[in-house]
Amino acid sequence: MRINKQIALAARPQDVIKVTDFALHEAKVPALEPGQYLIQNQYLSMDAGFRKWMNEGADDNYLSTMELGSPVQSMILGHVIESRNPDFPQGTVVMGRTFWECFSVAGTEDFVTRLEHDGSLPLNEYVSTMGPTGMTAYFGFFDVGQPKPGDEVLVSAAGGAVGSVVGQLAKIAGCRTVGITSSDDKCAWLIDTLGYDAAINYNAPEGLAAQIERELPNGFDIYFDNVGGGMLDVAMLHMKEYARLVLCGAISQYSKMDEPAAIYNMWEFIVKRATARGFMFTDYVEQYPGAIKEMGNWMREGKLKSVINTYKGIEQTPKAFCDMINGANRGKNIVEL
């Protein structure tokens, strides 16, 4: 019998998430039922969005509230090691949504996709730029953002996993890019390593609005919003006519869903004839192969860099997640099992 190691939600995170909000559990791996298959997880993807569903009463049309004492939901990458499902035979490499755990039992109802990869890029890329993170950046930027060469693009959480890819895709698309992050060090890194044209430190005394005004005196064509709340509200004052706002995430709000920040500047949408659209990366599953092919080419040509921070062992998962939420990350945090 196999014993699983899992990381469970031990306490509902408050303002500042901490490693003690999580606990390591052991559990037996259950026998497979018809249609199910057993995945040995190799990588866990640290994704900020899951923080939202750690709150009490967080159920929505997309996911359920995580229960205290139950394993934390996560995107994973692994290999099928036993199967009672002909579509997922033993040996299949899969990417999907299960839990922070060493083994996952999945079935027909679960969001798990087969991963076709030719071995030309390391497997860990498929939980990062070639996986959920990259798919979010790619479809959010190209499909929702509808960029044109010469567009000016503002990105929040610009040095995080999704933001670091968006900034580079925008350069590939011939746009001018301005990234927002939390420190001068990270600003320098956005420009020197990721190729942003300019960067804004939202903690600088000058303030966010003045810096956006300085870096984008005519406003932006696209705002790729990972942060929501007050930052989104300030950004709305800097839209060009026909601006597109890509509503990807709202990390500033995940610890305060009961009292979300007010948005005051909606009038700007009317006079600027602007649009804002939310999306989920899972909307585009059918189109992943094309996106993966294109992103892979850009990576092999050196046009797209992937920045991955690897934490080793399931015990490191809470730290990997908290570091990411608290902004200690540059690029993508993953856990290797």
Ligand X SMILES: NC(=O)c1ccc[n+]([C@@H]2O[C@H](COP(=O)([O-])OP(=O)(O)OC[C@H]3O[C@@H](n4cnc5c(N)ncnc54)[C@H](OP(=O)(O)O)[C@@H]3O)[C@@H](O)[C@H]2O)c1
Please report whether residue 47 would count as binding ligand X according to CB under 6 A. Answer: yes
Which window, 14-22, 116-124, 249-257, 302-310, contacts ligand X (CB under 6 A)? 249-257
3-state helix, strand, coil in the chain (%, to 5): 30, 30, 40
DSSP-assigned letter for residue 71 = B
Among 126, 329, 334, 336, binds ligand X (CB under 6 A): 329
Shortest Cβ 7–ligand X spacing (Å): 17
- Residue located via tokens 């509902």: 12
Q: Which two tokens stand for residue 82?
A: 């036993």
**Residues forming beta bridges with residue 220, ordered by sequence position:** 239
Q: Does 186 bind ligand X (CB under 6 A)?
A: yes
- What's the rounded Cα separation, in Å, for the pair 215 and 212? 5
| Residue window 92-131: x/- pattern of binding to ligand X, with contact defined by CB under 6 A | ----------------------------------------
Nearest approach, Cβ of residue 113 and ligand X (Å): 15
Min separation Cβ 75 and ligand X, Å: 9
- Overall residue count recorded for the chain in this entry: 337
As given in the structure block, the two tokens for residue 246 are: 């890509």
Q: List the one residue from 13, 134, 160, 296 that touches ligand X (CB under 6 A).
A: 160
Please say which residue, 140 or 147, places its beta carbon nearer to ligand X: 140
Q: Choose between 42 and 136: whose C-beta lies nearer to ligand X.
A: 136
For ligand X, what does the binding mask look like between residues 288 and 307, x meaning CB under 6 A?
Answer: --------------------
Question: Under the criterion CB under 6 A, does residue 163 sit at the interface with ligand X?
Answer: yes
Residue spans of alpha helices (H) in the chain: 132-139, 161-172, 184-192, 208-215, 229-235, 267-272, 288-300, 317-325
Q: Which helix (H) or strand (E) holds 95?
A: strand 93-99
Residues 257-286 that bind ligand X (CB under 6 A): 279-281
Q: Which residues pair with 97 in a beta bridge?
A: 75
Which pair of structure tokens corresponds to residue 201?
């430190």
Which residues contact ligand X by CB under 6 A? 47-49, 133, 136, 157, 159-163, 181-182, 186, 226-227, 231, 248-252, 279-281, 324, 327, 329
